[in-house]
Each structure stands twice: as C-alpha cells, then as structure tokens.
Amino acid sequence: MSDKTTRNLPAYLSYSMGLLWLWSGTQPLFFMPEMSLDLLHSVGIPDPLQWPTLIAASLLDIGFAFLCFSRLRSHSAIWLLQLITVAAYSLIIAIRLPEMWAHPFAPLVKNLPIMATLFFLYQSVGDKK
C-alpha cells in the first residue's frame, strides 16, 4: 500500500482477503459447480441464468482477489466494493436461505469478521480526504 498510513498495515490483511476471494471464486466454479447451481436455484435464480450468474460471481470474486494482490489495494474504493459485495451476498443468503443461520459451520456469522476487516481496510487506506 502506498502512503504512510497504509504502509503500516500488515500485508497479511490484504493478502488473506485476496486468498479468500481467490478460493471463493474458483472453488464453486471448478470443484463444486452442481452444488453451487443448486444454491443459486435455492435463492431464486432462474435455471437459464444460473450458469451465467455462477460465472459472473466467480469472475467478480477472482477480480477482487487480484485487486487485493495489486497496488490498487491502496484505494479505499476497492475495500468498499468488497464490503458491499459481502454484505449483499450475506443479505441474499440470510433472506433466501435462512437455514444458513443454523448451519454448524456458521457461513453467515463468519461474514461478520470479514466485513469488519474490509471496513477496517477501507478506513485505513490513505486515498480518502
């Protein structure tokens, strides 16, 4: 990250977010496409739009991963967009798949510290006035 404020941030914050995005973009598409398509069906995505939605979401996640690893990570908008995306994903899942609140691996609850980290990174980068 480029300025004095962002130079003091541990690199593992942006790199760990990058790894999370990279995994969440590749895993559903390449390793679990049928399960991913079933989840898209469960949230109400029509059958003809499921593959395009899966591909678009995967590409978005992979794009975020590359931004986390790039010099662009010093721009606050990058972190704000990720925060909005995680919040949107979480809201859709919470409304359309409420059983995820009771899931033993707590996929929705885990998004809370992810969103907190993204908000911290958004506030901490130095390009805001």
Q: What tens digit of pLDDT does each residue of 43-98 get?
A: 999 999 999 999 999 999 999 999 999 999 999 999 999 999 999 999 999 999 99
pLDDT tens string 97-129:
999 999 999 999 999 999 999 999 999 987 755
Domain ranges of the chain: 4-124
Determine the Cα–Cα distance for residues 27 and 120; give it in Å rounded to an integer: 26
**What are the tokens at 34?**
């049928």
Q: pTM for the full model?
A: 0.89
Q: Which amino acid is at 121?
A: L
Is the distance from CB of 42 to CB of 97 less than 8 angstroms?
A: yes
Is the distance from CB of 68 to CB of 23 less than 8 angstroms?
A: no
Within 10 A of 91 (CB to CB), how many other CB atoms are there?
Answer: 12
